[in-house]
Amino acid sequence: MKVPRLLTLVLSLSLFGTAGAFASSMWGDYEGYAKARVTINNNEKTFADGDTPAFLIKGSTVFPVRVLSESLQALVKWDNATKTIAIHKPNVHMFVAKKVNDDYSISKPFGGVKKGDRLDFAVFAQVDSLTTPISSFKISIDSPSGETVATHEKMVNGQKESFWYPWPFNVTFSEAGNYVVKFSIKLDDSSDYTVVSQKVILSE
């Protein structure tokens, strides 16, 4: 087994960690180790061919760090020079309201709409405990079918440990189901956006 390669990808967790892991040879083997089945919020996590799955070694579960961080909506930075993985979990709270006042107070918050309604509203994000510099952040809204129906991106100059940010949207809720409001962060220009918080607007 190529231990250095695995150490850049995986994190050892105790069997009673936050992800439900159940060890059994019925899930197959990975490089001589028994695979573990992982569920997150009652949804089974699947791994594509070629990906490192969860597996058992010396009584502990080994689990890919990036998969874990994305499931927990956290940011991951890999420093190849020092072989260091840094995980950052900012606190991001979002409010959806029909009005945000000049003093940043919100009026008429809502969490549900009628199917077919077209609304003007604001998404208000409150961010703190952001312990790493970032390149930009994005607020987006996805329909129940997965289509992005609205998005707004904001560049960031330097490090901001905490900030508030409201942005207006106009959306037609043409489908029934959950519209997902996502707050995503990009660490640098070469990285992808990572979702660090989300809310649901129910259309029925």
Which has the higher per-residue pLDDT, 107 or 20?
107
Domain that holds residue 56: 3-72
Same domain, 38 and 136: no
| pLDDT score, position 5 | 40
Q: Could you identify the residue written with the tokens 């959950």? A: 178
Q: Are residues 96 and 34 in the same domain?
A: no
Q: Judge whether 142 and 160 are in contact, CB under 8 Å.
A: no
* Widest distance between CA atoms in the chain: 61
User: Does residue 47 form part of some domain?
Assistant: yes
Q: 56 and 122 share a domain?
A: no
Using pLDDT thresholds of 50, 70 and 90, give the confidence band for residue 25.
low
Tokens 């967790």 locate to 13
159 with 97, same domain: the answer is yes
pTM equals: 0.77
Q: For position 110, which CATH number holds?
A: 2.60.40.10
Q: Which tops the pLDDT comparison, 117 or 190?
A: 117
Residues 12, 195: Cα–Cα separation, whole Å:
23
72, 104, 120 - which closes a domain: 72
Give tens-digit pLDDT for 145-186: 999 999 999 999 777 899 999 999 999 999 999 999 999 999
Q: How far is the C-alpha of 98 from the C-alpha of 106, rounded, in Å?
A: 8
